[in-house]
Amino acid sequence: MDAIEVIRAKRDHGELTTAQIDWVISAYTRGEVADEQMSALAMAILLNGMNRREIADWTQAMIRSGERMDWSMLDRPTADKHSTGGVGDKITLPLAPLVAACGAYVPQLSGRGLGHTGGTLDKLESIPGWRASLSNDEMLDVLRRAGAVVCAAGSGLAPADKKLYALRDVTGTVESIPLIASSIMSKKIAEGTGALVLDVKVGSGAFMKTEETARELAETMVALGTDAGVRTVALLTAMDRPLGRAVGNALEVAESVEVLAGGGPSDVVELTVRLAREMLEAAGISGKDPAEALADGSAMDVWRRMIAAQGGDPDALLPRAAETMTVEAAESGVLTRLDAYAVGLAAWRLGAGRARKEDPVSAGAGVALHAKPGDLVRAGQPLMTLHADDTGRFARALEALEGAYTVGPSTAPQLPLVIERVTP
């Protein structure tokens, strides 16, 4: 085979054979297919799509490019969750220990933020001493000691996806649903979990802006998981406004600890409990309800063991930004709209996010929200506080927030927190 033959087949609206897909992924991983050729193929896939069999073959080929983890030696079922990313989405932090407290092992491989969306590993690294990089043996040790582990994927897991993801990021092919679905699911299937719940975000702060595209992505990923023997379900959830009241790394860790202590914003608590119930059901575990595990402190106990097992100090003070600025309401009324993308962009400009994967992030930077859509506000009342390590960042953050919120006489419609459940 040769790359040009494969590119032409998809360019001309053809269906790639299993053999073509296996060859092109393997050859690209070995360096025998050039980046320019894979870029052309990715663009052809973006424009012309793939059917279910092609996407499944593409996903399996990326899994076979590396190792596949195995947790069969554990004495309880495993369950995991993946979010497509959003603004203030710190759900993994309370969710992993909560599900572990209810009887499942949770091997969670997470990523870093890019652009306006936050990364779970960046948030956890604001805890002094906490380590994201673990070997497979270390992952197993943390799982046995704590019941849950959240860490970075090793270099041996779906290396074809790592190479292709970096290429898609610079060639305008990130938005392809077949490529998004296969990228996410190749890592999650290779991770070896027995059950998987997908949190597919919808709205301005998400990659999927409409329910239609989010549903298509969810259905594609659920099919991939099901075909691979992983019990998979997806929820479409709202990302038209930020999740919770904290956007930023250490700010979100602090809010997650509030949830584990039995408090925290109602939307974060609601979604955490709902996802926990879905994970436990998919894993075939019944008994303790997640709401009970938050109330009785058992989820907090798992959190403390998990953080300590990865070198972190659960009692340490979290980093704080050196400078703050308050944004006040210009008039009285109801906060009818708070655009998630604009808040995420502001947090990014304050230092909480990165433009490139190698960029550093500020642990203390971000946005603390004092009002959410539906809340009554008065003129002069603080709407949000901006946190940054230097005052020079505030001007551009304020630019991002221009027109991002509206105060009116009455409430406005917004997406329900959980929009839809997608099953095989």
Share of the chain above pLDDT 90, in %: 90
For 197, counting Cβ atoms within 10 Å of its Cβ (0-12 exposed, 13-18 middle, 19+ buried), the class is buried
- Tally of residues, the chain: 424
Query: What is the reported pLDDT for 154?
Result: 86
Query: What is the reported pLDDT for 166?
Result: 83
Query: What is the reported pLDDT for 133?
Result: 96
Alpha-carbon gap, residue 120 to 117, rounded angstroms: 10
Question: By the 8 A CB rule, do 204 and 340 touch?
Answer: yes
Q: What residues are labeled active site?
A: 82, 161, 168, 183, 187
Query: What is the reported pLDDT for 165?
Result: 85
Query: What are the b/e assignments for 4-13, b being 16+ CB within 10 Å?
Result: eebbebbbee
CB neighbours of residue 288 within 10 Å: 14
Question: By the 8 A CB rule, do 60 and 228 touch?
Answer: yes
Query: What is the reported pLDDT for 64?
Result: 96
Does residue 359 surpass a pLDDT of 90?
no
CB neighbours of residue 196 within 10 Å: 30
Question: By the 8 A CB rule, do 143 and 328 touch?
Answer: no
DSSP character string of 306-367: HHHHTT--TTSPPP--SEEEEEE-SS-EEEEEE-HHHHHHHHIIIIIS-SSTT----SS-EE
Residue range 89-115: mean pLDDT, rounded: 94
Query: What is the reported pLDDT for 90?
Result: 97
Amino acid symbol at 51: N
Alpha-carbon gap, residue 62 to 58, rounded angstroms: 6
- In what order do the strands lie in the sheet containing 231-238? 79-83, 195-202, 231-238, 418-422
Residues 206-252 pLDDT 10s: 989 999 999 999 999 999 999 999 999 999 999 999 999 999 999 99
Residues 371-418 pLDDT 10s: 999 999 999 999 999 999 999 999 999 999 999 999 999 888 899 999
Please report how many Cα atoms fall inside a 13 Å half-sphere around the Cα of residue 295, on the Cβ side. Answer: 6
Residue range 112-132: mean pLDDT, rounded: 90
Amino acid symbol at 63: I
Alpha-helix residue ranges (DSSP H) falling in 228-297: 249-260, 266-282, 290-295
For the record, the structure tokens of 81 come out as 């969750």
Are β-strands 382-388 and 366-369 bridged in parallel, bridged antiparallel, or unpaired?
Answer: antiparallel
How many angstroms from the chain centroid is the CA of residue 186? 15
Share of the chain above pLDDT 70, in %: 100
Query: What is the reported pLDDT for 67?
Result: 94
For 380, counting Cβ atoms within 10 Å of its Cβ (0-12 exposed, 13-18 middle, 19+ buried), the class is exposed
Does residue 357 surpass a pLDDT of 80?
no
Question: By the 8 A CB rule, do 303 and 94 touch?
Answer: yes
Residues 11-34 pLDDT 10s: 999 999 999 999 999 999 999 999
Go through the domains of the chain in sequence order and give each one's CATH number.
3-49 (1.20.970.10), 79-315 (3.40.1030.10), 323-408 (3.90.1170.30)
Q: Mean pLDDT score of the chain, rounded to an integer?
A: 95
Residues 290-349 pLDDT 10s: 999 999 999 999 999 999 999 999 999 999 999 999 999 999 999 999 999 999 999 999
Distances (CA, A) of 420 to 95, 269, 414, 417: 20, 18, 15, 9
**Is residue 170 very low, low, confident or very high in pLDDT (cuts 50, 70, 90)?**
confident
Does residue 258 surpass a pLDDT of 90?
yes
Residue range 148-176: mean pLDDT, rounded: 90
Query: What are the b/e assignments for 220-240, b being 16+ CB within 10 Å?
Result: bbbbbbbbbebbbbbbbbbbb
Does residue 358 surpass a pLDDT of 80?
no
